Structure 1
Amino acid sequence: MNSLTLVISSLLLRAAHASPASSPVSISYSVLIATSIALLVTAVVVKKKLSAPQEATSPPRACVLQCDEAQERLAEASTQQLPVNAAVTLKEPKNGHNSGSVRSYDGDSDTYEVELVPNETVALKSSQLQFPKVSGLFVYPIKSCAGIQLDEAQLTPKGLLHDREWVIIDGARDKFVTQRRYPKLALLHPKLLPSTDAAQVSSLVLTAKGMPELEVPVVNTGEGKLRVVSVWKDKVEAVDQGDAAAEWLDTFMGEEKRGFRLVRVRDGFTRHTKPKYAPGHSTNFADAFPFLLALEESLEQFNTTLKTPVPMNRFRPNIVLRGSPAFADEHWNCITIDGFQFRNVRPCARCGMPSVDQATGEVHPEREPSRAIVRERNGVLLGFTDGKGFEGYFGSNMVLEMKGGNANPPRLAVGANVKVLTLKTEVVA
C-alpha cells in the first residue's frame, strides 16, 4: 500500500466515525469527504497516466560516423569519381552554369548526367568535369605555431608525420597555450632536422624574427622530465624538451613571460578522439582530430563576404584540395586520396584563431574573419544536425582508415587524385 492510499484510507475512516449532528463544527464532515474524493480521483488519474504507453524518445547518438562497407567497396572498384548527388564543377560553362549535381553515371561511356538547375540536365564526359586534387600539404610541428608547407608528407593514424607533436605549455600549470591567448605564437617558425631514420627528426629548430635560432635536440621518453599536460579535457603524457628551449620561449614572449616550457608527446602515448565522433582513432596535440581538410574554392567564396580577403593559413588545414565546388567537402562521407581511405567526421567549428594575422601575430580589431564565419556559416543557417547558431564552420575534420594505397610507409603528394566514394546522409556538427 503506497503513501497516497494510506492518506485516503485515514481520511475516509475519520469521515465515517464523524457525526454531522454531534460535531461542533458541522462543516468538518463535508470537508473530509470532499478531500477524500478529490485524492481518490487524483490517484486514479495518476495511475492511468503511468500505465499509458509513453512516447518513444531517441537514445543518445552513440557515434556520428556513417559507414557502409559494401557500398564503399563497390564505389572504390568503379571508375565513377563522384557519387550521385555530389556537387561537381564543369571545366567549361554549360548553358551559363559552371557547376551542378551528379544525377547518374554510365560506366561504359564514362559519362555523367549532371543537373545544372532543377529539371535541366546535361550529359558530360568525365573529361569535361573537374575532380578534386591535392593542392597543398601542411604540417604544424608545434601546436599553434607557424606551419611548414610540404610537397609530400607521410601519413600516420595520428595525422601527417610530426603534426602537432610538440606543444608549448604554461609550466606552472602544465596547461597548453595557443594563439587564442598568445597571438605572437604565429611568429614562431619551427624547422625539422631529419635523423638517419627518415621517419624521425633529430632536432626541432626554433626560429623567429629578432631571435637567434635555437636547435633543440629531441628529448625522448626516459631522457627528460615526464609531464602530464592538459589539452582541453584530456591529459596527455609528454616529455619536457629542456631548459634551453624554455629560456628561448620566455625571451621570445617578452612581457608575457610565464615560465613557458616546450614538450613533446610521449612516444607510444595514445590520446583517443571522442568516441561519439571517431571511436578507435587518436591524435597528438591537435584540438580534436588528426586531419583538417579544406577546399581552395571554399576560401574563394568565403572571401567574397569579407572587406579584406584572408589567406588559407588563417584556417591551418593539413590537406588542401582544388577542383570542387565551394564547401562540397562538408557533404562527403568516405573519400580516398591516392588510394588511402579517409572518413569525414564533422565540419570544423572555428574558434577565434582565424582572426590572428599569421604574418604579423596581431588580432584583427574587429575580430574578422571569425565574426563573418559565424554570421555566414553558422550551424543553424547551414542546417547541420546539432549545429549551433554561435559556431561557424570551415573545413572538415577527417580520420585516416589506412585502407588502400600502395606506398610503404604511406605518403601523400601534391597533385594526388581524390575520389569521393559516398556522401553523408546527414551532416552532424
Structure 2
Amino acid sequence: MLLSALYRYPLKSGQAQTLAESSVDALGLTGDRRWMVVRADNGQFLTQRAWPQMTQIGALHLPDGSLRLEAPGFASLNVPVPAADDALRGVTIWRDTLQVPDAGDAAADWLSALLGKPLRLVHCPAHRARYLPNGYGLNSDRATFPDGFPLLLIGQGSLDELNRRIGRPMEMLRFRPNLVVEGAEPFAEDRWRRIRIGDITLRLLKPSVRCILTTLDPATGQRSPDKEPLLTLKTFRSRDGDVVFGQNLAADGEGVLKVGMSVEVLE
C-alpha cells in the first residue's frame, strides 16, 4: 500500500491544493484549514453545504503562512497572518465557540463582494485550536477549522467500489480527504486503528459522516441532479443513521508525508 495523494484545504470550504509532500504536526497538514469565512453579524461559519459558490474560491497557503485568495473575475488578494491575540472575533463552528483573530477589512470586503453577504475572514493560530469531540482521541488532540478532526483518509479502493456501484466516476475531491491510500481492498480503512506512513504514526479515530456537500461538483459547484454519490452511499454505508465514507485520524508527533510513501498497518 502507498500514499497516492495529498490534499490541503487552506480555507475551510475553499478549493483544494494538491501536494507532493507536506509537513505534519498534531494539527494535521501544515496550513490545512487554518482560515475560515464567517458571517459578520454573528460569527457563524460558512461552508459549501449552503454556499456552493465557495467551490470557486481558490485559496493558496503561502510559505510564510499567509493566504492568497483567488476567484473568477476578481483580482487575487494576499492576506497576511493576523497577530494571534489581536482583533479577536467570536466564531461558531458546529457546537464549538472560540475566539480567533480577524484577518482585516481587505479580506472581508473581498469575500463579501464575492458571496454577496457581509462576511469576515478569521485565522486559527495553533494555541487557539479547539479540542476534538468528546470521546475521541487523546486529551491533547486538537484541530483548527475542520469539521472535527485534524486529518481525513480515504482508500482509493473504496472510491473505486463506490464508482462501480454508481456506474460513473465520482471525483475524490467531493469527499475532501487529506490522504488517499492506494493498494488496499475497498473499505479496508474501516478496520485500521493505527498506521504508519514514513516516520509518522497515525491513529484512526472515527468514520467520516457524509452530507449533501458530496453531491457538489468540486470544479463547478453544480449539484448532482440524481443526488449522487450520497444516494448510493446510503444503500450500503449507513451506520446508526449516518452515512459514512473515509476515516478521521490524528497524528502522533511531527514529520513529513510524501506521495509514494509506503503505508503500514500497525493495528
Tell me, yes or no, whether TM beats 0.5.
yes
The whole-number CA distance in structure 1 between the counterparts of 2:250 and 2:216 is 27
Which position in structure 1 is the counterpart of 2:261? 416
1:314 and 2:174 correspond: yes
Q: Greater share of strand residues, 1 or 2? A: 2
**Distance (whole Å) between structure 2 residues aligned to residue 166 and residue 187 of structure 1:** 16
- The answer (yes or no) to whether the contact 1:237–1:266 under 8 Å persists in 2 is no
Q: Which residue number corresponds to residue 250 of structure 1?
A: 112
Match of residue 91 from structure 1: none
Q: What letter is aligned with 1:393? A: V
RMSD: 1.3
> Aligned partners of 1:371 and 1:418: how far apart in 2?
31
Task: Work out which of the residue numbers 120, 142, 146 in structure 2 matches 1:261.
Answer: 120
Contact 1:293 1:395 survives alignment (8 Å): yes
Q: 1:192 deviation in Å?
A: 2.3
Once the 2 structures are TM-superposed, how far is the Cα of residue 260 of structure 1 from its aligned partner? Answer: 1.0
Q: Distance in 1 between matches of 2:125 and 2:194?
A: 31
CA distance in 1, matches of 2:126, 2:135: 26
Q: Does residue 301 of the first structure (1) align with residue 164 of the second (2)?
A: no
Distance 1:288 1:149 in 2: 22
Is 1:367 aligned with 2:227?
Answer: yes
| Number of corresponding residues | 266
| Structure 1: runs of 5 or more not aligned | 1-131, 196-200, 380-387, 403-408, 423-429
- Counterpart secondary structure, 1:305: helix
The answer (yes or no) to whether the contact 2:34–2:125 under 8 Å persists in 1 is no
Counterpart in 1 of 2:185?
Answer: 325
* Structure 1 residue 279: Cα displacement: 2.9
**Identity within the alignment, %:** 34
Shift of 1:399: 1.2
Give 1:66-215 correspondences, 5 Å limit: 132-195=1-64, 201=65, 203-215=66-78
Q: Distance in 1 between matches of 2:185 and 2:168?
A: 22
TM-score norm. by structure 2 comes to 0.96
Q: Contact 1:207 / 1:214 at 8 angstroms: preserved in 2?
A: yes
Distance in 1, matches of 2:138 and 2:198, equals 24
Partner amino acid for 1:272? Answer: Y
Is residue 53–residue 221 contact of structure 2 (8 Å, CA) maintained in 1?
yes
Task: State the distance in 1 between where 2:126 and 2:20 align.
Answer: 26
Amino acid at match of 2:194: C
Per residue, is there more helix in 1 or in 2? 1
Q: Structure 2 CA distance, aligned partners of 1:266 and 1:235?
A: 15
Asked if structure 2 preserves the Cα contact closer than 8 Å seen for 1:138 and 1:148, the reply is: yes
1:265 maps to amino acid: C
* Separation in 2, partners of 1:304, 1:401: 35
Deviations 1:81-139 (A, max 9, x none): xxxxxxxxxxxxxxxxxxxxxxxxxxxxxxxxxxxxxxxxxxxxxxxxxxx11011111
Consecutive aligned runs of 4 or more in structure 1 exceeding 2 Å deviation = none
> Which AA in structure 2 matches 1:303?
N
What is the Cα deviation at residue 226 of structure 1? 0.3
1:265 CA drift (Å): 1.0
Counterpart residue type for residue 134 of structure 1: L
| CA distance, structure 2, for counterparts of residue 277 and residue 333 of structure 1 | 12
Tell me how far apart the structure 1 counterparts of residues 183 and 77 of structure 2 sit (CA, whole Å): 40
**C-alpha distance after superposition, 1:324-371 (max 9, x if no partner):** 111101101111111311111111111111101111012222322122
* Residue 307 of structure 1: how far off its partner (Å): 4.0
Aligned-partner Cα distance in 2 for 1:213–1:307:
38
Residue 267 of structure 1: how far off its partner (Å): 4.4
Amino acid at match of 1:290: P
How many Å separate the matches in 2 of 1:370 and 1:238? 34
One of 124, 132, 151 as aligned partner of 1:273: 132
Counterparts of 1:352 and 1:188 in 2: how far apart (Å)? 19
